[in-house]
Structure formats: structure tokens, C-alpha cells
Structure 1
Amino acid sequence: MTKHSVKTLFIVFFIFVAQAVIAANDDPKRAAEIRQMMWSNPDPEFSVTAIPDKWKDKSAVIIAKYNMLSYRKTPLSSNLDYVRFNHNRIMLLDKSSIEDYSQFTIPESGTYGNIRSTFYAGFKVIKPDGTEIEIPLSQAVKEELEVNNSGFNKLKLAIPNLEEGDILDYYFGEERRITLATKYFSFDPVIFQLHGDYPIMKQKITFDVLRRCFINLKSLNGAPDFELASDDKEDKNTYTLIDEDRESIKDIRWLYANRQIPSVKFKVTYASSFAASAPTFIGEPGVLKSEVTKEETKKLVQYMFNTSMYYGSDLNGYMRKHYKKEKDLNKLAREAYYAYRNIDRIKNTEAKLLYGRNTNESSGVVKDVIALSNYYRWNDIPHKVIIGVPREISSIDDLILENELMLMIKVTTTDPFYIGRFTNHSTIGEIDESLQGTYAYEVDGVLSPVHWELSETEIPMLEASANHTMSHYNISVVDLDEDKVNIDIKKESSGANRIFYQNVLMDIYDFKEEEKARFEMEEDFEGYKKSEQKKLLQRKSDYIANREKQLNESLKAVIANDLDLKLEEPTDLEIVQTGRFHDTPEFIYTCKVEAGGAIKRAGKNYLVNIGKFIDGQIHLTDEERKERMYDVYHSFARSYAYRIEFTIPDGYQVQGLDKLQNKVENATGGFVSSAKIEGNKLVVESKKHYSSNFNKKEDWPLMVEFLDAAYNFTQQQILLRKL
């Protein structure tokens, strides 16, 4: 449901591994039936060819949009049937929308574990004179994609000869048959946002459900409710939502759509009466459930902990062996976190890296919280277990699905701290940005779960200074006429700002010795089978041989992301400090790079775009500067500082320092810059910060002030005047 879904809990989950693949629309008879349903007997709105005058200056207008879902159980079998069709009719009004709709990707049908999926699609273009042109799927081209090292086929279909004023009418469909292994199956959660990139004239969402299924559903942010129609003969309930006249919300910066855009979310669950007795958020069969009580949340979390009572046993054994005589609970709580990080993640990281797997994911957070809480409870270390909902999804009052829950720990010893992230590089004291500033529940983690009672708590928001990046750029001119400079770079990042740099520029070989100095680490894959050891050692040799080249490629991408300059290959990357422990929280690296794109000749003098030597800044469009319709949601409060030391070439003096003096600060943030000459160097310092992770839309003009000041600084030039 969100990019932060790696932090959420799934009671039931499936990993699909492709077993076989065949073309889409592979059942000709069924494909013809669906084509007939979509195009020969459509709803009236799918015959409309005109759009309102108020939207004729838009890039495109969605005339009609229909999402249909069906959840059924095959009689006298252990199979479930899931059907989903999306039918869209859109008028394309400019080149941008034509480009957006000029190509489609269609998955191929296939069998994935215990699930058989068959896909269907159809495309036709309606010209302004009424001519209809169907695009046959036989024109699609198969592409081979690598997903987790497994082949997974998709088809790409080009829509040729699209022109302004054309209507594209197309549908996608999937029919999925699930062979049940248990009497419980939770279908994928579904969320529909009623606004989109283009205005929508009319849209409809329907889903029908076997009446004995369980349905969690909630309409949010002013979305209309579903209407129910029961069919006793077919033993099903059909729910329908009809909506119309929605404006577009394309490319809105810092928007949490689930919090602000009219949306509906729902999930259907099939469960026997016995399976339904487990403490999940399902309600009564065939009855919409739109609220989750505090008591239901408590029972679910209790169930999670009670069924995971042995999590943390390895950690407990390690701590008893190495900290048997330690009585300071503050120290025990901290050391246990880092020991758990080593046991659970670091010991497996090298092998995962060599097998090409993701080594930085923040998966299994629920398991991690349970394991660490268990250890703390077994050793009477005071702590709270915090139960919240990520702020980009909803407030906890709008909780409706199990997988929206997120767990965290607050240690409440005499020197308290939060534990909010479990990754290779996370430290104590971090609060996951998805929970900062939210209301959540907490329980006393020292008590046995059976005695838990939920109370409300507010999670603090870390200040901008906690998420800070300091960039040092020492610049020396190589050749004025050829527009070349050398840049010595040093970056120091802390808090959430450091995560990107750590994940991209550092691997296990940058911090393996750091871990070995603190924990027991096996050498050269001890514990693996000899055949596996041999394979891993060869992979390690190959990786090390190419490591410097790969890291330099990543480094160049990082610098290009930061600086709007023409870059040569960077060199001399050094990880000065890993930023992986709370007493050394900054990630620090240095490197060198030659660059161009900042110097222009002006007669016998030269103009230097000195503003380009701070990281790229946001350039707001004229449309963005207007009155904002939605509140501003940032991931977290944050701050940046830059120090540019530009060595003035011999025989020149600098003019234009006055344009580098700025000070714009207000309640939402600020940008401040200054410049001075120190010996043979021009020293430019600037600071920028975002005060909060949230601003009301009424405060948007204040944000525009400092965002514009920062961008305008990047356009400033100094004059190197020949003496």
C-alpha cells in the first residue's frame, strides 16, 4: 500500500515463484466473452465522446473508469476465485498524455505457487470522426525481466499513431484461482484514490463477495459510501460506489494521498468458523466492518507475542554469556540492541551480498520488536511496546487492516531511548519517520502480554538538527578556459539523512572489522557446508575484484544527484566513519572529482556559477507557487549546511559577494547564506532547514519564500576579474 510497507505486518503472506508462463488472452473463448462485456454491452458512460468545456485545456480527461472485483469460492472444492477488471476511457489532449499512453505493459498468464492467474486485455482508439481502431495483442513484444534472479515474462504493447483528440478505450483483467492449503485466506488489500493525474468525469467501483466472506472496508477523506445489493439466489453481496466530476491532482509535491485524497480501502477474507476465531480484524461474515476497536488491536498484538514466545532466545543466550555480571540496565538495553542487530542481520549480510540479494532492507520489523521485547521482559528491563499506523497511511483512528500496524520500542530505563528501525546501520535513539508526530498505543512490555492494557501516547517528532547533512566542497581551478575544477568533497550525515548514503556507498567490507571488534564473527563462512563455502569464497573473490569500480559508479551517481555539474569519474572514496553506533552517529565519507559546467569566459574575465556548488535545490513552477489545496507532509524535519572553499586563481579578484548574502527564515524553515574572502579563498556558507514534518496548507507561502531563496542562490555567479 505504500513504500513503507516493508515495516508493516502481514498475518498471511505468499511468495509467488513463476512455474510456467503463457500469453495473455490465452483462452480465446473467455477472451471473446470479456471483449463482448467490455465493448459490446458497456455502461452508457463508455459511449460518451465529449468532455466538459472546463477541462478542454487539460492534458487529458478520463471520460469513464470502472473497477470491478469479485471474490468467490468454487462449490464443492478447495478453490477460491478472484476476478479483477479495470476499464478506462480517456481523451488525450496533448503530447504529454499521448506519451503517457503510447505503451502498456501486460503480464503474461501463469501459475505462481498455489495460484493460477490468467490475464486479459483489450485496446482500441476512437478517432474524432468516430472511426474505431482495435490494437491486436499479437503486436505485443515479450520482454525478459529479472526479478529476484527469477525469470518473469511481460508483454509490451505500443499504441501507434495516437493524436490529440483521440479517445483510448482499454481494459485489463485478471482471473485468479487459488488452491487453498488452509481454511483461511486473506486477499490482497485494495485501495482506490478517487482523484488521479487527470480529471475524471465518472467512475464506478464494484465488488461482489460470497456472503460468508469477511469484509473490512473504510471510506476516507470524504469519499462516498458503497451501496449494497444482495443476491440470495447467487449467495453473494455486491457493493457499488459511483463517483463523478473529480479534478486532477497530478505532480503535487509533498502530498500524502492516503491522508488527504478521497479514498476507499478494503480487504476480503475467506475463513472457516474455526479459522475466523483467531484474533484478526475480521468481523461478522457478510457484514462490512469499518471500525477497529482498541480491544481488537490489543488482542491481535497479544496473539502475535504469545505465538512468538521463543523469539529472542539467541540474543538472551549471547547476553548471558557476555554480560553475566552487568547490572546497569541502561547499558544492557543498548548492548542488547546492537548484539541482536549482529545476530539477526550482520552475520548473514556477506552471504546475501555475494548472492546478489538486498542487504539493506528493513524487513521483519515485527519479528525484531518481539524478539528484543522478549529479551527485555525476561531481564526486567523497563520498556514500552508501541503500536501505531504509519502517518502516510492514516491516523490510528482509521485503522482497518492488520497490515497497517507498525511496532516500535521505547526503553524506559533512567536514560530512556526509542528503537524504531532495524537495519544493518540503524542505531538506538532512532524513531521511524513514519511514526514521528503521530498518536499511537503503548503497552508495558515488562508485563506478560496477557496482562497488557493499551494506553494512548504521542510519538515525538525529531528536530531538524537530528537529521542533518554537512557538505564541505574545496574547489580549485584546473583550467579556466576549459571550465575544469577539482572538488574535494567531505560529507557528514546524521539521522535519516544518512540512510541513503550508507546504503549506496557502503557494503559489509566497510564495517565488517568494526563488527568483529565488538562481536563474535565467524571467518570465511564457517558453519556453511564445504561446497557452499567454496562457492561463496569464489563469489567473494569475484566481487572484491570489481568492488572499487562498482562503488565508484555508485559514487558518481550520488554526486550527480547532489551537484548539477558535468562530472568526470570520481576517485579516492573513503568511508571515514560508518555512522552505525549512537556514540558515532554521523556517516562521513570523502572523495575527489573533476567537474565542469560552472565557468564561462567574459572578455578577459570569468563568470563562476558559485551557487552550483551546493546541492541542487527545488525549483517551484508558477503553478506550484499558487494557493495550495492540500497540507504539506514531509518524511521528516531535516537540515543541511554547506561550506564552499573556492581557491581564487592567481591574478584574479572576486566581485559579486553581495549577491551571496541571504537570510529567509520563518516558522516553516529557512535558507541563510554568507560569503567572505579568507586569504586566497572565497568562503561561502549556507544553511537550509525544514522545521517540521508537516505544515498546514495556509503556511505554504512561507515555505515558498525560503525554497525560492535557496533555488535563486544556485543561480548566482561571481566575477573573477583580471588584475
Structure 2
Amino acid sequence: MKKLLIITLAFIVSTQLYSQTKIEEKAEAFFWGANDTHKSSFDIPEKWVNESAVILYKNENYDFHKFGKNVTYTTSIRKRVKLLDAAAVEEFSEFSFVNRFRSNKGRYTWKSKGDNVIGVKIVKSDGKEIIIDVSKDAIEVDGENKLAISNLEVGDIIDYYFYKVEPFKSTYPVGFDPVENTLSEEYPILEFKLFFETENDFFLNFNTYNGAPKLQELTSEKNNQRRYKLEVNDIEKRELPIWFYSLLELPSYKFQVFFARRSTYEKKALAFLPSKEDIVKESVSQEEVLELYENRFKPQGDIGDLKDFFKKKDYTDDSKKVTDAYYYMRHYYLTRFIEAFFVNEASILNNPFAYYGNSPVFIQNEKQFIRHFTSFLKRQKIDYDIVIAKKKYDGTIEDLLIEQNVSVLLKIKTPSPLYLSFFGPHTSINQYSPYLEGTDVYLLSNSKGRIEGITKSKLPSSTYKDNVIQKEISLSLNQDFSNIKVATINKFKGHFKEDEQYSTLLLHDYVNEDYKKYGTESLLELIRNKKVKIKFEKEFSALIEKLEERQKENLKKSIESEFNIPDAKDYNFNIKSTGRYGLDSLFSFEETYSIENSLIKKAGPNYIFEIGKFIGGQVDLDKDQKVRTENVHMTFPRSISYQIKLEIPEGYNVNGLDKLNKSVDNSAGSFISTAKLEGNLLIIDTLKVYKSSFLPNKDWPLLVQFLEEALQFTHEKILLKKA
């Protein structure tokens, strides 16, 4: 029996090795074989001789094939790059890749292991080719292969490819990962070719944007085979200035392929499929959006859990009822499980979710949230629309092509409409992605829980008054001026709030808040076994202590980065308000620490204090960035204010206040600062405002004006002069 096992294992290993060798040979022949028409590509146009590197040839390939239930997805890319300076040599001197992987598609089986193959060769200026022995030279580091190219020189050509084969079995519909790219990249491209090959049961959505050429269909010898290409020459390098959405502005292409073996599976596919496999779908109409979603958002979910919460509660309006339901559901279907997720990851308890009873409901995505919450709305006879939206960095709703790019919200039709998004631990009513603000959307109207129509609408936008950072900083100096004591009150509102909550709050900061608010039991209270409870409490406390130490260190590093100081001594913080029950509620916390031997210098009997540093780092544009032809796309309008109070040491006066008074205010934004003395306090107030999330390129100079004024403020100093 043991001998048979050894033989079987040896057969498997030898088969795998043989298969891998065949794939390597196939990949090399595909790119560098007898049909390689780019083997002699050496020259670059005169206009690009001063570039760091030029891509002589870029080739992408996507092949989709099936045999019965077996599906094989092969994707590959080749680049032939001429290196024109030392920076490019360094850039291409190392490659990282993983040899083997398991497909996440179809049925899980050892046969679904995929292969990554990499080929690299160097072409010297005299035409000599050096093919790198990847299997010999690559070194595995933390599960990833590292390949160092040691003999590259300026003037060399590096010709490399990645070739990936992903096999899997499937009878059900499978969506391949969407691809969304600009034609241009970091270096200019002399010639670019993209090839597609599909066959029956594969559905292709593909379109190009912003002036990119259309996909062309090629002739095929087989009736069930379809071949396409996209070909472009002389592509200038991609410039990526600050606040720029490349897919919105640059020539680009987007596609997704869906596999569905039968017409019944086509109907089950969550995708905007073309009507036939031989049609390339380029757009999605309102009617197709309605058709896809009208049966997918039927109210569904047991809302009996809400009965006890609403018992003995009387509501005079639906807005309050919906708001209370949203925050309770956020707790009941999410935050009350947070402890269990941490405990499970730390292996403190075996299956901690079992303590919540049989089959507890955990809402995991926005579509499940829509179905569950509309069950409540239907029972309460509250009118609503389902919002179908698309993030603005990916184009307009009219350009919708890929279902995975859809975001879904609820619009509650109360006198002042409420917008509900899939909740995270800190999400509020009327809070949704800033990338959706002001965008055109589709509204799916309903009657008694049934979707019955679709109309076009627009989502509201926030203003700079809605998205706010406020910092109140109190400073005091010790007698020899070697130490600055700092006490800060930080306040965040609107879109600033959630990121700060994630980075600052630990699970017990908000989970315990929810337990107290709703009277639910913690995981510790759910454990009835005394022995298990004692062990859990000890290990969970140790976990919390470890998380708190890590959190404190991260916040300390954030302070050091913000004010560019080497070390914040004696750092401590305290949460004042979590701000989790309303978009306008403030998230607030206090910090105390000290700065030693930094930001203050002795000048004879006086001291120079770099007071301007306390508004944190500012946007610093270089000479080239100040000239711009692209439109400006920011995430959201916002305002950031600092109030700095410095306690003037006894026996000293302050000089240099005039430089702390600045004012630039225009249609793009503003930076205004004032400084005044009140007794022994120097009080500095600064306000920086970005008035809009979008500016046409002609208004860029207006933005630069107040950005430069804010940057200059950080360089300002005061003189503490001996009286």
C-alpha cells in the first residue's frame, strides 16, 4: 500500500513538473518564437530620446476556452523596453511573482491549480541576447519569488513577459475579474496590441473611452471561436498630477468576460450580458438596468428581531423610525459580532459565533442590506427608491458597462429624503461614498416591495461646511525652552470622520457603546460555562491590551509625521465622543504629548519658535505642477481649521505676528490666518477651505494661490524676545 502511494505521488509530481515545462515552452514560443515580429525592434523616435525609458512593444492577451465543465483562462503580457537612464535600469532590475496559485473560480479541486510563467531576456546595444534562467536565479522570499537582474545597463533593452494559466471546473455562471486601464502608462509606448479570444458560452462586455480606438473583430477559422484586437501606436506617457481621475480623462478601455453554459445560467448571472456570445456589449441602457435588478431586490429577511426594539415606542414621523431602525440594525447585524471576529482571528475561542444562537444573521454586502432593510420598510408601509449609482472616478452612469461598478443605496421618501448605505461600524444616515456625490443615478421605484419603474436622478452633494476638521492646540514651554507641552482637541465631521474613527477607535470603544445603548449582551456575557468564561476573559483582556499598545504607537507616529518631529514624548489620548449616531455629530478625541529639542532654537537671549509647523504638512507643488492642463478632481469639498494657543513665558515678548496674518479667498477656496495677543496668550486661528470637489483646469491657478499661502504659513516663525 505504501509503495502504491509513493508511486502515485511520484506520478503526480512528475506530471506537474512535465506540465509546468510544457507551459514554459509554450509561453516562450508564443512570445519569442519564430513568429516574433518585434525581435528586431530597437529604435525610438527622436521626440522620446530624453525619456527615462520607452516601451518599444506592449502586448496583452486574454484567452477564454472551455471543454465541457473545464474552463481555462489564459492571460499574458509582454513588454519590450529600452532603458535610457539609471532610474529605468533600477526600475527593471527586479521582478516579483508567484509560481503556483489556486483558482478562486468554480469548484475547489487540486486540479484547479494555476501557473504563472515569467520570461526575461536582455538585449545589449550590439544585438546580443541574454536569456535569464528564471528557475535558477529566482529566490523565494515569504512565498513570493524575487528575480534580480544584475547586468542591466543604460541603452539595454529588457524584453519580458508574464504568462498565467488558470484552469477550473464550473457549470454555474462565473464572472472574470473586470479590467479597466488607460492606454498610457509611466513610459511612452511605441506600439500597443491587445488580443482577445473567446468561444461559445463566453460573453464579452468591452468599450473604449476618451478617444481610444474601438475594438476590432478578426476573422476566425472556427464558427464557435471569436477573436478581437485593439491596436494603438505612439502613446505618450501618462502624467498623473495631484487630484486627477485618469479613467475619466485619459484614453482607456474596460472589459469583463462572463461564462454561462446554459440560457438558464445566463439569466442567473449578475451581469449586463450581451444578448448573444458573438455580440460585444458596449453600453447598458436604463431598461437593461431595470431588467437585471427588478427581481433581485425583492424585500427578503426576517425582521422579527426588530419587534422587541420597537415595542412600546410611538413615532410621529417616519424619519425618526427609519433612523432608529438603521442604527439598531447596524448593531444587531454587525457590531455585536465584532468581538467574535477578533476572538476568532486570535483563536481565543473555538467558533465564537455559536454563542449567538442558531444561525445568527450577519449582513455582509450592500445587496443583502437592501433586501433586508426594505423588508422593514415594506412592513412599515414607508415609501422608498433603490438608487443605482456609479463612482465618479469611473465615468458617468451612462457609461455603465460592468455590474461590479454599481453602488446601491436606499432613498427613503420622507419629507426630507434620507439616504441609507450598507453600514460599516461607523456609518451614519445620509452618509454614502463621497465618490457618489453629485453624480447622475438611476432610481428604481417600487410599489409594495415590487420594482416597477426606473427614472434618472442626481445625488445631493456635501459642502465644505459639512466636511470639517477642527484642531485646538494648546502649547506651553518649560523654563529652559527645551520642551514644548502640547494638548490637542481634535474634532471631525462629515466625510473626514469615518477614516479617523477607523484609525483611532478600538472595538471596545464603540461595541461597548452599542451594548449600553441597546441593552444587548457582550460575548463575555453570552458565555455560560464558568471555566470557559474565566479563560476567555483573561485572553480577551490580553488581546485588548495588545491592540491598545499598537493603537497608541500608531497615533504617536501619526503626530510625528503630521508635525515632522522626531519623537513625541509621553503620548496619551482620550476619546471624548465617538460621533457614530449622525453625520453631523462630531468625532472628538484629546491628545497630550511633549516635544523635546525641536521647533525652537536659541538666538542669543531670545528664542525662535517655528509656530507655523503646528498646522501640519501642506501641499507642496513643484514648478512643473504649478502649470496644469488637466481638470481637478478632489474627493469632496472641505474645511480645515486650527486654533493654536501659546502661553508666552514670563519675561518675554512676541515679535513677528505680522507674518502670521494672511488672507487669500477666491472661488476655488481660501486660506485665512489671524494672530492676536490676549494677556499672556498668543492665539492663532487658521482656516483652509476647498470650496468644490471639481475645478476646470482654467481655475487651477486659483487653487495654487491659497495652497502656496498655506504652505508659506508653515515656514513662519515668531521671536520670543527677552523683555
Q: TM-score, normalised by structure 2?
A: 0.89
Q: Is the 8 A contact 1:255 1:631 kept in 2?
A: yes
Identify which of 287, 291, 294 aligns with 2:283: 291
CA distance in 1, matches of 2:259, 2:583: 50
- Pair 1:583–1:96, CA change in 2 (3 A): closer
CA distance in 2, matches of 1:544, 1:213: 50
Matches within 5 A, 1:60-79: 60-74=53-67, 77-79=68-70
Match of 1:9 in 2: none
- Pair 1:507–1:548, CA change in 2 (3 A): closer
CA distance in 2, matches of 1:319, 1:300: 35
Asked if 1:174 corresponds to 2:164, the answer is yes
Identify which of 153, 173, 178 aligns with 1:189: 178
Match of 2:205 in 1: 216
CA distance in 2, matches of 1:25, 1:525: 55
Amino acid across the alignment from 2:234? D
CA drift at 1:434: 1.8
Match of 1:595 in 2: 595
Match of 2:459 in 1: 459
Asked if 1:281 corresponds to 2:272, the answer is yes
CA drift at 1:501: 1.5
Identify which of 128, 148, 166 aligns with 1:158: 148
CA distance in 2, matches of 1:362, 1:61: 49
Match of 1:619 in 2: 620
- Once the two structures are superposed, what CA deviation does each residue of 1:631-656 show, in whole Å capped at 9, x if it has no partner? 11111111100011122223322211
Match of 2:355 in 1: none
Match of 2:338 in 1: 349
- Pair 1:635–1:318, CA change in 2 (3 A): farther
- Pair 1:690–1:286, CA change in 2 (3 A): same
- Which range is displaced more, 506-515 or 465-474? 506-515
- Pair 1:25–1:220, CA change in 2 (3 A): farther
CA distance in 1, matches of 2:254, 2:131: 34
Q: Tell me the SS of whatever aligns to 1:566.
A: coil
CA distance in 1, matches of 2:323, 2:30: 62
CA distance in 2, matches of 1:165, 1:532: 68
Amino acid across the alignment from 1:82? Y
Match of 2:47 in 1: 54
Q: Is the 8 A contact 1:638 1:690 kept in 2?
A: yes
- Once the two structures are superposed, what CA deviation does each residue of 1:6-51 show, in whole Å capped at 9, x if it has no partner? xxxxxxxxxxxxxx9x999971232123112222346434532222
CA drift at 1:664: 1.0
Q: Is the 8 A contact 1:664 1:670 kept in 2?
A: yes
Q: Percent identity?
A: 28
Match of 1:134 in 2: 131
- Pair 1:663–1:91, CA change in 2 (3 A): same
CA distance in 2, matches of 1:23, 1:493: 56
Asked if 1:518 corresponds to 2:517, the answer is yes
Amino acid across the alignment from 1:253? I
Amino acid across the alignment from 1:392? Y
CA distance in 2, matches of 1:78, 1:667: 60
Q: Is the 8 A contact 1:315 1:339 kept in 2?
A: no
- Pair 1:41–1:699, CA change in 2 (3 A): farther
Q: Is the 8 A contact 1:654 1:719 kept in 2?
A: yes
Q: Is the 8 A contact 2:637 2:693 kept in 1?
A: yes
Asked if 1:33 corresponds to 2:26, the answer is yes
CA distance in 1, matches of 2:534, 2:113: 38
- Which range is displaced more, 534-543 or 364-373? 534-543
- Pair 1:679–1:134, CA change in 2 (3 A): farther
- Pair 1:232–1:441, CA change in 2 (3 A): same
- Once the two structures are superposed, what CA deviation does each residue of 1:605-655 show, in whole Å capped at 9, x if it has no partner? 2222111101210101111101x2321111111110001112222332221
Matches within 5 A, 1:127-526: 127-137=124-134, 138-144=136-142, 153-180=143-170, 182-233=171-222, 235-271=224-260, 272-278=262-268, 280-283=271-274, 284-306=276-298, 309-311=299-301, 313-321=303-311, 323=313, 325-356=314-345, 364-420=365-421, 422-445=423-446, 447-450=448-451, 452-478=452-478, 482=482, 484-525=483-524
Q: Tell me the SS of whatever aligns to 1:276.
A: helix
Q: Is the 8 A contact 2:122 2:131 kept in 1?
A: yes
Asked if 1:124 corresponds to 2:104, the answer is no
- Pair 1:226–1:601, CA change in 2 (3 A): same
CA drift at 1:675: 1.0
Amino acid across the alignment from 2:371? I
- Once the two structures are superposed, what CA deviation does each residue of 1:208-262 show, in whole Å capped at 9, x if it has no partner? 0014421111111111111111314373111100112122224421111221121
Amino acid across the alignment from 1:660? L
Amino acid across the alignment from 2:374? S
Amino acid across the alignment from 1:387? I
Q: Which runs of 5+ in 2 are unaligned?
A: 1-12, 347-361
Match of 2:670 in 1: 670
CA distance in 2, matches of 1:650, 1:126: 72
CA drift at 1:714: 0.9
Q: Tell me the SS of whatever aligns to 2:394.
A: coil
Amino acid across the alignment from 1:70? D
- Pair 1:23–1:422, CA change in 2 (3 A): farther
Asked if 1:655 corresponds to 2:655, the answer is yes
Q: Is the 8 A contact 2:494 2:583 kept in 1?
A: no
Matches within 5 A, 1:541-560: 541-560=541-560
- Once the two structures are superposed, what CA deviation does each residue of 1:388-417 show, in whole Å capped at 9, x if it has no partner? 111121210000111111111222223432
CA distance in 1, matches of 2:579, 2:524: 26
Q: Tell me the SS of whatever aligns to 2:297.
A: helix
Q: Is the 8 A contact 1:25 1:121 kept in 2?
A: no
Work out which of the two has the higher radius of gyration on C-alpha atoms and give 1 or 2. Answer: 2
Asked if 1:87 corresponds to 2:78, the answer is yes
CA distance in 2, matches of 1:258, 1:447: 39
Q: Tell me the SS of whatever aligns to 2:689.
A: strand
CA distance in 1, matches of 2:457, 2:320: 25
CA distance in 2, matches of 1:265, 1:479: 64
Identify which of 100, 109, 113 aligns with 2:91: 100
Q: Tell me the SS of whatever aligns to 1:285.
A: coil
Q: Tell me the SS of whatever aligns to 1:388.
A: strand
Q: Is the 8 A contact 1:480 1:599 kept in 2?
A: no
- Pair 1:715–1:665, CA change in 2 (3 A): same
- Pair 1:415–1:265, CA change in 2 (3 A): closer
Q: TM-score, normalised by structure 1?
A: 0.89
